[in-house]
Amino acid sequence: MKPIQVSMTINGQAQRADVDTRTLLLDFIRDAAKLTGTKRGCNEGKCGACTVICDGLAVKSCNMLAATADGCSVETVEGLGTLKQLHPIQEAFHKHHGLQCGFCTAGFLMIAKNLIDQGLSPDHDDIRHAIHGNICRCTGYQKIVEAISEAAQTYLPAAAE
């Protein structure tokens, strides 16, 4: 089957590649754009490790074809903070020990950012509900919830944009 050309903007940078039609958005981000911070945990849309923000909405990038995302603007974990300057949500995860192995972390950061941008409250029950599409096997979720709660209070999307 002949490859198709896919273009999109990832973290503000134009990316273009000829890919197999079967290429998932996740594959495009990792293999074509070489951004490996977004992880494949289950490849079946359940664990949320591959969560990215596509045209302003959090999606599971293993459940979207790269071709469908053609022309879209995608944000990944690499677009949040840097080693020297963490994003406030990343800072909160660091402070609250919200990560252990770190494999699920990018997915949690992206769903948290997207929902905080939409006004997620710092209430713990609301946060648990908000992240029920993401699985963490290490932390028991407690410190993730605490980190997001703090971020929901301190991170002001308008100021950060």
Partner 1 sequence: MKAFEYHRPHTVSEAVELLSRHQYEARILAGGQSLLNMMKWRLAAPSVLVDANRVAELSSIRKEDSAVRIGAMVRYRDLPSGVPEACGAIHDAVSVIADFQVRNLGTLGGSCCQADPFGDMPNVVVALGAEMTARSVRGERQISVDDFFLGPLQTALEPDEMLCAIRLPLGSARTGSAYEKFSWREGDFAIVSVAAAIGLDSAGSAVSGRIVVGGLGVGPVRLGRTEEVILGADKGADVIKAAADQASREVDPEDDRIYGSARYKRELVRTLTAKALARAWNRAENHKGSATR
Partner 2 sequence: MGYIGRNIARREDRRLLVGRGRFIADMQFAGMLHARILRSPVAHARIKSVDLSAALALPGVAAAISSADTRSLRRYGSRHTGWPVGDNAVFLEDKVRFVGDEIAAVAAIDEFTARDAVELIEVDYEELPAVVDPEKAMADGAPIVHDELVRAGIIPSNVMATKTLRAGNIEAAAARADVTVSARFYCNRPVCNPLETHGVIALWDEATGELTVWSASQAVNLVRNGLAEVLDIPASKVRVIAPDIGGGFGVKVGLFAHEIIAALLSMKTGRPVRILLDRSEELSSCTSRCAQIRYSEMMLDRDGKILGWRERVVQDQGAYAYSGLSVLQMGSIIGILPYKIDNVLIDTFCVYTNKNSGGAYRAYGVPQTSFARDSLVHMAAKKLGCSAEDIMRRNIVRNEECPKTMSLGQIIDSTGVDQCLEKVVSEVDRLGWRKDPQPYHGVGFSTVLKHSSARHPRMDYDHDSVRVCLSSDGSISVETSACPQGQGMFTTLAQMVADRLGGSLDSVHVTGGDSSGPRGLGTWGARTITITGNALHRACGEARSKIAKVAAHVLEVDESELEIADSIVSVKGGSNRQLSFAEIVGICERHGKRLPKGMEPGPIDVLSSYDSPTSNPNEDGHANPTMTYSGAAHACYLKVDPETGKVTLLGYIMAEDCGVAINPVIVEGQHQGAVAMALGQVLYEGLEYDEAGQLLNSSLRDYYVPLATDIPDLSMVHDCSVPSTRTLFGQRSAGETGNPPPMAAVANALEEATGIRFTEMPITPDKILLALRARENAGGRS
Binding interface with partner 1 (CB under 8 A): 1, 4, 20-22, 24, 43-45, 48, 51, 57-60, 63-65, 67-68, 70, 111, 114-115, 129-130, 132-134
Token pair 């300057």 is found at 85
Query: Quick check: 113 binds partner 2 (CB under 8 A)?
Result: no
141 binds, among partner 1, partner 2, none (CB under 5 to 8 A by kind): partner 2
| Least distance to partner 2, CB of residue 62, Å | 10
Residue 83 in tokens = 């080693």
Maximum separation of any 2 CA atoms in the chain, in Å: 50
16 binds, among partner 2, partner 1, none (CB under 5 to 8 A by kind): none
Query: Quick check: 18 binds partner 2 (CB under 8 A)?
Result: no
Give residue 7's Cα distance to chain centre.
Answer: 19
Q: Edge-to-edge, what's the strand order for the sheet holding 57-60?
A: 13-19, 4-10, 73-75, 51-54, 57-60
41 binds, among partner 2, partner 1, none (CB under 5 to 8 A by kind): partner 2
59 bridge partner residues: 52
| Least distance to partner 1, CB of residue 89, Å | 16
Return the residue of 10, 15, 32, 39 that touches partner 2, per CB under 8 A. 39
Q: Find the helix packing angle between 105-117 and 88-95, rounded to 10°.
A: 130
